[in-house]
Structure 1
Amino acid sequence: MSISLRMPPKLRTGDRVAVLSPAFAAPALFPERHEQALRRVREVLGLEPVEFPTTRQLGASAADRAADLTAAWADPSIRAVFATIGGYDQITVLPHLDPAVFRADPKPFFGFSDNTSLLNWLWCHGLAGFHGGSTMMHVARGAGIQPVHLASLRAALFDGGDLAIEPVAEFSEEELDWAGEGSLTDVPAPVPSPGWTWHRPDRVVTGPTWGGCLEVVHSQLAADRWIRPVDEYAGSVLLLETSEEMPAAGKVFRILRDFGERGLLRQFPAVLVATAKATVFTDPRPVAERQRYRDEQREAVLRAFADYHPEAMIVFGVDFGHTDPQWVLPYGGQVTVDGPARTVTAHF
């Protein structure tokens, strides 16, 4: 049996929520976009955002960012915590955190990408969170919060219950310059979604989720910190998504091979793999090359599981990663993957 984690309580309209930068302080560079996110937290979600000293502080030390996280969890009036965006060094924040403070008052934490570090740290200390929901990317989105994102965000915050996670008809992996004209009102043109691909859809699996950004999880495995004994992941649903760094298929395979050698891959009866982001404004790629990248990544994942857990059921193309729109998913909470019905349900 997999580990049982404490789910944070739901919020009420008017509750105060922390908006923090535990990784990169993007609000310092793009204050207008940050202010748009704060307005939408108030006007769309009906919550009161609260900033902390490092929310807009570029180059804040790991200790100072950890102090803000600790202060947010220690404040009984703060009922949830949002990450503004990801980054690259959140793992250095974790040694400065005291688990007792977080266990004393569990709160929903929303983030993805580098925020996988904190999500995993919470998981290791028995606390569930939510994968997704960075304010700068999703709440401040130029044309408004994407309906898919908003529905799952509301479910995580307020509504609870079961939510069908469905394929999207269109998606985008392009970016706009946040310092450019139109960044607060426009969005890149969407294109047809590649859809879902099922591998071995022969069972129904319900379990807590674990995983997140592949590169970040790998760094924690390499550091050999905040990783539980492998049998505590048994029965969980593995979430996998790759970042805007766009790791090559060979690297994806080698990372998963490391997971397999540790005995991790065989713990997961079901795996959800996000639509891989295959272009970035600093390295734009032709459309045909993007699809080839996603195909090669899928083959790398299948190759790793063929070696280490051939019975696993895998769903490719679920929209919870670095593309738009983004479903918010439980992290440590329950998800049902129904192979025969070809459905995924998040239990909020």
Structure 2
Amino acid sequence: MNDGTMNHAIGHPESREGAKIILVTGASGGIGKRTALALASQGHTVIMHGRNPDKTRHACDWVIEQTGNPNVTCHVADLSLMREVARFAVEINERYGRLDVLVNNAGGQFGNERETTAEGHERTFAINTLAPFLLTNLLLPMLANSPSARIVTVSSESYRQSGAPRLDDIELEHSYSLVRAYGSSKLYVWWLMRQFDARLKAAGVANITVNTVEPGSAVTGLQRESLRKSPFMLPLVILWMPFMRTAAHGARTSVLMATSSSVEGVSGEFWGSRKPKRINPKWISPQGEKAVWEYCAKACAAYLDGSATPIDLA
């Protein structure tokens, strides 16, 4: 594989009033693809990330065709591997120099048996929690170059299915289940975003906002893949199907938080259905947030050493 870049035309957003440079991870299908479509429709430069080269290229071509916006590019990286996350961050920095919005959309849900990546991390945790932590940290200097930058991270209401957080077994070596792994990963990534918000404010960085969103239950490739690996969930999905949203509907809150002037300056919040979510206080845990942050910082230390991140990583 080459460096992961796929050559599509890119314009200069500085010459288009109000246009932003926006990176959407996990944009080759589902909610990410629809997020990219909506943002490209608004005239922004959109960087589409995917794992599968052919699927990502086709998604990029489709967005350009549907919107008539040539300022759409695509890049390939396997975000389950932190070395790939680090390479991807370098690639984005070298090509674009500035980033206005980061949409951490990529995610995964796996089977009933615990799987680990080539780097030894539980696969769900690696993609849903560790990758957004590392990518966000590595791209913070680029975001800091924007006059008004935004970080939007996709979590899920499934965090409520995680049960009591197992901070002594964060990667579920001894207590794995599909539901717990996915729910915990979405709880932890929300906690990490709360930490990013707090640490940016503590560092006096006022031009970057950080928010978490949940898209609601949407019919996407993630659900289909989950059913393939865990067919026992089919009756539950059939029961909920009438209440599930389309991927386009699921993308609406991400798009709002990425570009709407109505949320300018809003930070540290959890949004769904285009409004702030009411959070049960039992899920707020400063101690848990710090523990997960420290765990991720240690796991990613090799890639963060010497980075120019403006926040305190300790």
What is the TM-score of this pair, normalised by structure 1?
0.27
What is the TM-score of this pair, normalised by structure 2?
0.29
RCO greater where, 1 or 2, for CA within 8 Å and sep 6 or more?
1
If each structure's strand is expressed as a fraction of its own residues, which one has the higher value? 1
If each structure's helix is expressed as a fraction of its own residues, which one has the higher value? 2
